[in-house]
Structure 1
């Protein structure tokens, strides 16, 4: 038995066992179970085939939830990749003092509970003239706005919450990537007369590609799976004309609120396919698959 545990052939399998078991129990098994439930009417305990999926094709609320999630995802990608990259470049400058302080300040929002943050933002975007953002626009002579009752203003509120919460995390990702770039490359470029912008464009951005692809991948997943932020902002899963409804929010509405578990599982399977397709497309566009083949 002792020889068995100390065997060089068996040891690698022993070490990967916890990971394999975790994936099987908490990823593969739930997905398989979800696929089976998506073909059933759980309340009636009967097999309905593709009825749940055909129902999705004519469900206007589902399409609106998909559109809201995609719009939110695109907004977060536009804001939460280039700006954190620029901020990380500034923090990586050795001439800047107090970088550790700024790192802590930027990362602090990520440690804040989404429940607390959503509640605070709901008060900030309140309808009364005394709410923070109505006071701000009131300073410019504008009338109070019902922020969380309009599609565009709600979108702005959700993006602002996302930027406040995740900018610091992405800064740390890019900062870690920048610190792995040899300083000799910047020194050589500086000697050749390259400006800081040229160094950033020709050295930092290309060598940050692995970090950028990683941040892009997790941002796509986070954008399409957003739920709690919207729920806390509207103090529930119901928003005016479903302007804050996301795919996960619609899944929750069907599965938990209406107890249509089979239909909710169909929504979940479609969400899984969408996330995988979008990520595969972006990995091909960024050339990640080609590099792995080489």
Structure 2
């Protein structure tokens, strides 16, 4: 009897242990941390640690086998005409892309979301396909299209109207136009899908109620569509700002290298590439990268503050 009782007690104890283990595995308190853990690990390895290393390196002069602390000398060297031209080019490019890649996809998304629109899936596919094309291939194609020769596609096109050939890539205004065309061709479909997803989440009953009250199309767009698309619009604005200031490959492929006439195609990332990799000045290149990071963070913070994203909704 004693042995059987001890066996029963041990079996009960074992059952409690199994239950305890199951509680740990299926704990509602522990589960969120387990799901977030892969993101935390990847964030620390691929963002936090590289940024920390770059910050440290920006105060150093790095040569093979030799590292020297130089304080703020790298940041003082940033005050030069080439860096300011790179900032100017990146800023102009970002502003122009914002003026095109936010309102145009929004209007197109409204048309595609309309019940009267036909062949919706076809137009969605057509606008999104350019995003799947390699930027390397795209840059080569546009370099050939906007070449300075008379046989270039765009010069042949303007020749039909009696205009003389244009050296598209040798002028600051026309080269920026080409970069804007590349950005529009590649990203308009992506932003369109963002806005289209937001429009499909707006209850159609709101538009029906507005129509009963006699609201016009413009009133429905400004009073219903735009306010409810605010989170999507801010997200698209944020990634567009980041994409504008981080642009590099487009300019690099357009000029077949990181050298353009009078640096008309030089961007901040291009300047980082030139100093950090081409010239081997890793410390100075790190200072350029940290400055770019702080610039984009400041602009993003200002626009989020302006749109009231930090206010608690009541």
- TM-score (norm. length: structure 1): 0.97
Shift, 1:288, TM fit: 1.1
Shift, 1:63, TM fit: 0.5
Shift, 1:192, TM fit: 1.7
Q: Which residue of 2 aligns with 1:106?
A: 127
Bigger Rg over Cα? 2
| Distance (Å, rounded) in 2 between the aligned partners of 1:138 and 1:71 | 29
Q: Which residue of 1 aligns with 2:8?
A: none
Q: Which residue of 1 aligns with 2:301?
A: 280
Q: Which residue of 2 aligns with 1:260?
A: 281
Does residue 1:64 correspond to 2:85, yes or no?
yes
SS in 2 for 1:288: coil
Shift, 1:3, TM fit: 4.3
SS in 1 for 2:78: helix
| Distance (Å, rounded) in 1 between the aligned partners of 2:139 and 2:32 | 45
Q: Which residue of 2 aligns with 1:10?
A: 30
| Distance (Å, rounded) in 1 between the aligned partners of 2:307 and 2:160 | 45
Structure 2, unpaired ranges of 5+ = 1-20
Structure 1, unpaired ranges of 5+ = none
Does residue 1:34 correspond to 2:54, yes or no?
yes
SS in 1 for 2:47: helix
Does residue 1:132 correspond to 2:132, yes or no?
no
How many pairs are equivalent? 292
| Distance (Å, rounded) in 2 between the aligned partners of 1:16 and 1:151 | 47
Shift, 1:2, TM fit: 5.0
1:223-281 per-position Cα deviation (integer Å, ceiling 9, x unaligned): 00000111111111111000000000100111110000000000000000000000001
Q: Which residue of 1 aligns with 2:196?
A: 175
Mapping for residues 1-294 of structure 1, pairs under 5 Å: 2-43=22-63, 44-57=66-79, 59-291=80-312
- TM-score (norm. length: structure 2): 0.91
1:52-94 per-position Cα deviation (integer Å, ceiling 9, x unaligned): 001112x110100000000000000000000100000000011
RMSD between aligned residues:
1.1
| Distance (Å, rounded) in 2 between the aligned partners of 1:90 and 1:201 | 15
1:203-231 per-position Cα deviation (integer Å, ceiling 9, x unaligned): 11111101000000000000000001111
| Distance (Å, rounded) in 2 between the aligned partners of 1:2 and 1:255 | 53
SS in 2 for 1:79: helix
| Distance (Å, rounded) in 2 between the aligned partners of 1:138 and 1:55 | 46
